[in-house]
Amino acid sequence: MATLTIRNAQKSYGNIEILKGIDLDLDDGEFLVLLGPSGCGKSTLLNMIAGLETISGGEVLINDRVVNNVHPKDRDIAMVFQSYALYPNMTVGRNIGFGLEMRKMEKEERNRRIDEAAKMLQIDHLMDRKPAQLSGGQRQRVAMGRALVRDPEIFLFDEPLSNLDAKLRVEMRTEIKKLHQRLKTTMVYVTHDQIEAMTLASRIAILRNGEVQQFASPQEVYERPANIYVAGFVGSPAMNFIPATVVNEEGRFGVSFERTAHGNRGSVYLPLPEEHQALDEWVGREVVLGIRPETLTHRSDAEIALNPCLQPFECQVEVLEPTGADTLTYIEMGGEEVIARVNPYNASSPGETMSFMVDMGKASLFDPRTEQRIN
């Protein structure tokens, strides 16, 4: 196991900056997910950790040892690729143990490690098959087994599940989670899938245009996103963003915006909880109110009586999207299309006015100019 430190890591190709000074600190046994869209620099950063890409500036440290100029084979890391990269002419067992064979490991120890990894990944019954005889999920398990037998300080995963269908992705995601819990080894995992990131990570680093937007636990990223980009990237459906104005009514801060109800336009005032009460400089100014769909739902007077952060209002329903457990209800707030998660039995028909409630204790406020979180 190992710690991983990245200090001001930079990567440029000529005048093109790919990574613009990345700082990350990973504790022993943590699971870091590098999350972001294609082209944000996450795979480049992973390759720099592995030694497959040279670093233009800054440092990469494994166990407090600078490894900028250390050859990949001497970094004690193991990498699982998106493409599996299996040898087609070798059996599963030989694929798993080939790296150990090249290192001249004793046959007895080599076979012990291969058998142990195969049992852990539940592929011990496939040892004599060739890759062409395996499913995508089985091939990915073989690729993981090949990394596992190395017993490395750090595991690196480069979008390992992107070639699998939806059902297999879920299954393999669970296997990787179990693997980390068993081994307690430091892991770095690259993906553009925010569900993978949320379910696997100890901490997530969200990248955009070569810069870290937020580095925090999945729950903190979800509940307190650092900026509008993070808030919109994490969560499905994405967070609602509503143009609003900060107001002070009788000494209590809140937000006000336009909405449609009973076929007519009008304004809604929603008071903010006490933790948002340091907004003097924002009174009368525009903000972006961020509300996740699951915190906006049908009105329940019983719940409102128990939770003072739940604020009721009425709004006209535009569109319904039944999903089984919930009905996604589209309404208009502040001139923007907003999604609420509603119990199917409480949803009103399109064109009707419906009573909603929103948990303002879970609301986020952003500066519309900088897009950064206000508090």
CATH of the domain at 357: 2.40.50.140
Is 16 in the same domain as 110?
A: yes
- Point out the domain boundary residue: 233, 258, 287: 233
Of all residues in the chain, the percent with pLDDT exceeding 70 is 99
Q: Half-sphere exposure of residue 173, counting CA atoms within 13 Å on the CB side?
A: 22
Three-state DSSP state, 263: coil
Beta pairing class for 57-62 and 211-216:
unpaired
Q: Is 165 left (phi over 0), alpha (psi -120 to 50) or beta?
A: beta
Domain that holds residue 254: 240-366
Is 321 contained in some domain?
yes
Q: Is position 373 within any domain? A: no
In a domain, 375, yes or no: no
Question: Same domain, yes or no, for 218 and 113?
Answer: yes
Q: How many domains does the chain have?
A: 2
pLDDT (average), residues 120-134: 90
Question: pLDDT grade, residue 161 (50/70/90)?
Answer: confident
Residue 339 belongs to a domain:
yes
Residue 57 falls within a domain, yes or no? yes
> Are residues 281 and 167 part of one domain?
no
What residues contact residue 131 under an 8 Å CB cut-off, 6+ apart?
84, 86, 87, 88, 90, 92, 95, 139, 142
pLDDT band at 1 (very low <50, low <70, confident <90, very high): low
Using a cut of 0.75, tell me whether the model's pTM lies above it. yes
Average pLDDT estimate for 118-128: 89
Q: What is the mean pLDDT of the chain?
A: 92
pLDDT digits (tens, 9 = 90+) for 176-225: 898 899 889 999 999 999 999 999 999 999 999 999 999 999 999 999 99
Query: Helices (DSSP H) in the chain: which residue ranges?
Result: 42-50, 92-102, 107-120, 136-148, 166-183, 194-200, 218-223, 228-233, 301-306
Asked whether residue 372 is assigned to any structural domain, the reply reads no
Q: Position 154: which residue type?
A: I
pLDDT at 260 over 80: no
Residue 266, in any domain of the structure: yes
- Is the pLDDT confidence value at 122 over 90? no
Task: Please tell me whether residues 221 and 324 are part of one structural domain.
Answer: no
